[in-house]
Chain A
Amino acid sequence: MILDGETLIPADRRAVWKALNDPDVLRSCIPGCQSLERQSDTDFTSSVRAAVGPVSATFGAKITLSEIEPDRGYTISGEGKGGAAGFARGKARVDLTDEAGGTRLRYNADVNVGGKLAQVGSRLIQGTAKKLSEEFFGRLAEQLGGGELATGAARPAPAAAAASSSVPGGRRLWAGIGLIAVIAMAWWLGR
């Protein structure tokens, strides 16, 4: 499943980049994130509680960053495995560019889900990804827009920031799936 999209984050590129590499920020922005630990410069482990339709579980995942271009972007790949709920594997390219009013974040993710998630949740995955990524970007934008990075529990900011982005054809670009597709997908769907 290919997921792509973009969103405008009201912060400068360096701040966005920093946030995207800060486990504390990520932990507070990823919906359902129970833990996120940096294992090395490029490796993380995480545990995310998520539900796709009737399938809900705690997904444990490994996430790896590669093709890192500081302040510009990286490729994030994640893999979750085992469990009665199934598994997910994902890989996404995230690119940051300057734009009036902040930083444009573009993502392109390829996510595969398997097991029960695919069998009974396929029709719900896109929608769930959208919802989770909106939530993620909402929180990220809120944190960055606020000028300082909160480390406490972020408030859900559904769709607010996400909905602000759109593509030329008028088709709404739920900032969705992006990072979540990436970060989240890899692990919330993961394992």
Chain B
Amino acid sequence: MDDRIEDFTLIGTTILRREDGYLLRGRAKFLDDLPEPKGLIHLAFVLSPHARANILSIDASAAMALPGVVDVLTGRDFTDDIKPFAPTIEIDGYRDVRRPVVAVDRVNFVGEYVAVILAETPYAAQDALELVEVDYEPLEAVVGIREALRDDAPAVHEHLGNNLIFKGEFSTPEFDKHFASGEVVVEGEFRTGRVTGAMIEPRGVLAVPDPIATTVTLWTPTQIPHIVRTAICEHLGISESLLTVATPAVGGGFGTKAHVYPDELIAVALARRYCRAVKWVQDRREDLLTNAHARDFLLRIKVALDREARIRAVYLDIKTDGGAYPNHPYSPTLESTGCARMMLGPYRISHYKYDVCSVMTNTTPTGAYRGTGQPPAFMAIEGIMDRIGRRMGIDPAEVRRRNTIRAEEFPYVNAVGVRYDTGSYYESLQEGLQAIGYDEFRKTQPADRLVDGKYRGIGICNYLEVTGTGAPGWRARGFAKMPGFDSSRVVIEPDGKATVYVSQADAGQGHYTTYAQIVADRLGLSWEDVIVVEGDTSKVPYGTGTFASRGSVVGGGTVIRGCEKVKAKVRRIAAYMLGVPPERLVLAGGRVHDRDDPNTGLTMHEVAETAYSMNNLGLPQGEEHGLEATDYYDPPLVTMANGCHVVQVAVDPETGSVTIERHVAVHDCGRVINPAIVAGQVQGATVQGIGEALMEELVYDGEGQLQNANLLDYLLPTAMDVPDLVLRNIETPSIDTVAGIKGTAEAGLTGAVPAIANAVNDALAGLGVDVNRIPLRPSYIFDLIRGAQAAGGGRK
């Protein structure tokens, strides 16, 4: 099949999201809005208050005596029918760690499930929580990457002997020689704070057995229904035919909901065991405490350059905190190898070496969150670009220009073997600089950066975004069981209208609009006549799901391919009906007609009636009834989108607070399906990046106690923190993907975080301080300013 399609009609135009009609009217049905079956059992989880402890005893007698309590179960009650999590990661240096769905004998993080309450009402379940007496023997907890790596640190998992769950390395040939050829060496260290998705809707489960409990439907707001189904069935030892995983309306996923969680397995197991429906809805504290955290990184980067600031070689050392157990199904390697492979960015870096490790600590397991590994990667490479500039007396924009891959160099294969097929790396940088008025800003910026009593600086992040990873891309990183493909089934119904079933799971991305738009475009229908079905394993063919910016590249790609397959059949049948060759037929305006004669021809309805045997015409010889096609699309290794954020900030010397005054986001995601939705993705991710850069951080004390599992203390950006974003779009279609589409969901975050950090660094450059960790809270910035002033730098 020729994937290079050019004759677009609706693709590339803004259509307002059909989802917004019911979302904005409050009519969407989220998990907790689903009708509750009779005889429902409500769950509540007893959470460990200790970061590391032996469980000496659990006394549930008082809880069991409470009216309305059905049962109280502990870890041992599940060991027979639920296997522990142990993600399959086939990469050198990864070591297996297993996680029981409910702790057995030992807890390893605050918030780990210790017991499960089953009750007739949610109230009884909550009351019973207070009555379960657990006797713990607290043990010394391991908290923090450096602490975990100390020789005398206790091993979180004794069988490992230390706390390294993963240790990897990579080097291009003769790296040391090339590094040594550098005439200038610039180094930097960076620290990124632990954050989480903080979706507006926390997670929950509703498992509904059929009357004889042979099959179960699990409602869960997941981004990966098929992966969840496979994981549950594997771990419970039941047939995949017996389980349906379905998503209601989902209030945000952001990667946090792209994991398999213990409660999903528990709910299905209990629905089968008790032959009753089982429900649990997470509260905000449980969300922040137990859902996957992310981004807990320490990075050290060393760059060797020639005297013209051209990069000769880059060395990167990455350490990530995986938390107490590997997340399922990715393990901590998702973040660490993702960072290592993305750090090269849009730059001509031929010689590269990295060391990477992930440690186990007594904290919440970390995993995917919008941008996964990329904001830290670009903190490092974009942070070092600025430091190179300052060190060598060259404008940081010019340092980037000298090293950025130019249009004539595509396709470019980078040092880790990733192909950059097309891009606008240089053009995006220039566009961003121009849009913010970079040169004028620099001309008037005083050496001490003080303008109107505030330090003002400008920061750049010239990024790539990895999107639409295919099977080879997952295999290259050791994800042996990650499918990589996605699929669609495109059906033209007897009335000539279409339904498309896609192996994706919308969490707010607008799939119900964009896939309809694609089908309408390819089949010449009105987009209102196309219905999109997804998020239900009993209805859609198998696929990987909606995460890692897959929806447009892989989901969009398979929908287009499915349409082309159906289109071929439409043409064959219409050709037979009209007596013209199929290649002369065009699908447009709900009709099929000769390309030179739009006035004759057939309606799609008439063609469909023939296909469904609803007239006397019959089918061409050898043709089957029906008018549908199924497609499985495994995209290239990866598809790289790119862009550039340029940000101007003001730092208040008296308070240390940072205000973003101007923020330009240039983005290039190849062929655009719906410009308004792309703009929404860039804008939303940028706002999350502002949160990550300035305020969000999950804080642990030295004993592994999470200090801020609430939204009063875990700060999220509000409208007050967000400037008017200037969005610019460049469209450089891929030559490797279907229709040239590249993904777009995470880039805003990857661009915003380093650009803001660099802008603050630039604002404080007159003080000679090194701003190298996020979040850039006022207390941190204030201390840096005061420290510099005390040392004689800066004003006063």
Residue contact A116 to B130, C-beta cutoff 8 Å: no
Residue contact A82 to B713, C-beta cutoff 8 Å: no
- In the assembled complex, which residues on chain B have CB atoms less than 8 Å from the CB atom of A132? none
B706, CB-defined interface residue at 8 Å: yes
* CA–CA, A86 and B47, complex, Å: 10
**A114-B49, A115-B49, A119-B289 known; A84+B129 contact, CB < 8 A:** yes
Which DSSP category, helix, strand, loop or mixed, fits chain B's interface?
loop
Q: CB-CB contacts of B295-332 with A at 8 A, as 1s and 0s? A: 00000000000000000000000000000000000000
Q: CB-CB contacts of A98-118 with B at 8 A, as 1s and 0s? A: 000000000000001111101
Of A81, A82, A118, which contacts B705 at CB under 8 A?
A118
Residue contact A82 to B285, C-beta cutoff 8 Å: no
A122, CB-defined interface residue at 8 Å: yes
Residue contact A122 to B130, C-beta cutoff 8 Å: no
- In the assembled complex, which residues on chain B have CB atoms less than 8 Å from the CB atom of A160? none
Of B50, B51, B130, B288, which contacts A84 at CB under 8 A?
B130
Residue contact A119 to B129, C-beta cutoff 8 Å: no
B133, CB-defined interface residue at 8 Å: yes
A155, CB-defined interface residue at 8 Å: no
B412, CB-defined interface residue at 8 Å: no
Residue contact B708 to A119, C-beta cutoff 8 Å: yes
Of A86, A120, A122, A123, which contacts B49 at CB under 8 A?
A86
* CA–CA, A83 and B136, complex, Å: 11
Residue contact B707 to A122, C-beta cutoff 8 Å: yes
Residue contact A81 to B136, C-beta cutoff 8 Å: yes
A163, CB-defined interface residue at 8 Å: no
Total interface residues on B, CB under 8 Å, equals 25
- In the assembled complex, which residues on chain B have CB atoms less than 8 Å from the CB atom of A57? 130
> How far apart are A35's CB and chain B's nearest CB, in angstroms?
18
B200, CB-defined interface residue at 8 Å: no
Residue contact B710 to A82, C-beta cutoff 8 Å: no
**A82-B133, A112-B703, A114-B703 known; A120+B710 contact, CB < 8 A:** yes
B735, CB-defined interface residue at 8 Å: no
B134, CB-defined interface residue at 8 Å: yes
- In the assembled complex, which residues on chain B have CB atoms less than 8 Å from the CB atom of A17? none
- In the assembled complex, which residues on chain A have CB atoms less than 8 Å from the CB atom of B710? 119-120
Report the nearest A residue to B710, measured CB to CB: A120
A87, CB-defined interface residue at 8 Å: yes
* CA–CA, A115 and B286, complex, Å: 11
Residue contact B135 to A119, C-beta cutoff 8 Å: no
Report the nearest B residue to A89, measured CB to CB: B138
- In the assembled complex, which residues on chain B have CB atoms less than 8 Å from the CB atom of A113? 705
B712, CB-defined interface residue at 8 Å: yes
- In the assembled complex, which residues on chain B have CB atoms less than 8 Å from the CB atom of A115? 47, 49-50, 110, 705
Q: CB-CB contacts of A62-100 with B at 8 A, as 1s and 0s? A: 000000000000000000011110110000000000000
Q: Which of B49, B110, B130, B133 has the most CB of A within 10 A?
A: B49
B7, CB-defined interface residue at 8 Å: no
- In the assembled complex, which residues on chain A have CB atoms less than 8 Å from the CB atom of B703? 112, 114
Report the nearest B residue to A120, measured CB to CB: B710
Residue contact B705 to A114, C-beta cutoff 8 Å: yes
* CA–CA, A122 and B288, complex, Å: 15
> How far apart are A120's CB and chain B's nearest CB, in angstroms?
5
- In the assembled complex, which residues on chain A have CB atoms less than 8 Å from the CB atom of B136? 81-82
* CA–CA, A116 and B707, complex, Å: 9
B701, CB-defined interface residue at 8 Å: yes
- In the assembled complex, which residues on chain A have CB atoms less than 8 Å from the CB atom of B50? 87, 114-115
B709, CB-defined interface residue at 8 Å: yes
Report the nearest A residue to B699, measured CB to CB: A122
> How far apart are A77's CB and chain B's nearest CB, in angstroms?
14
Residue contact B713 to A122, C-beta cutoff 8 Å: yes
> How far apart are A52's CB and chain B's nearest CB, in angstroms?
13
- In the assembled complex, which residues on chain B have CB atoms less than 8 Å from the CB atom of A87? 49-50
**A116-B49, A119-B706, A122-B708 known; A81+B135 contact, CB < 8 A:** yes
Of B130, B133, B706, which contacts A118 at CB under 8 A?
B706
Residue contact B134 to A82, C-beta cutoff 8 Å: yes
Report the nearest B residue to A115, measured CB to CB: B49
* CA–CA, A122 and B699, complex, Å: 11
> How far apart are A62's CB and chain B's nearest CB, in angstroms?
13
- In the assembled complex, which residues on chain A have CB atoms less than 8 Å from the CB atom of B46? 84
Q: CB-CB contacts of B279-298 with A at 8 A, as 1s and 0s? A: 00000010011000000000
* CA–CA, A2 and B47, complex, Å: 26
Q: CB-CB contacts of B672-696 with A at 8 A, as 1s and 0s? A: 0000000000000000000000000
> How far apart are B405's CB and chain A's nearest CB, in angstroms?
46
What are 28 inter-chain pairs, A to B, with CB distance below 8 A?
A: A57-B130, A81-B136, A83-B130, A84-B46, A84-B130, A86-B49, A87-B50, A112-B703, A113-B705, A114-B50, A114-B110, A114-B703, A114-B705, A115-B49, A115-B50, A115-B110, A115-B705, A118-B110, A118-B701, A118-B706, A119-B285, A119-B289, A119-B708, A119-B709, A119-B710, A122-B708, A123-B712, A123-B713
Give me 6 other A-B pairs in contact (C-beta within 8 A), A112-B703, A113-B705, A119-B289 excluded: A87-B50, A116-B285, A118-B706, A119-B706, A119-B709, A122-B713
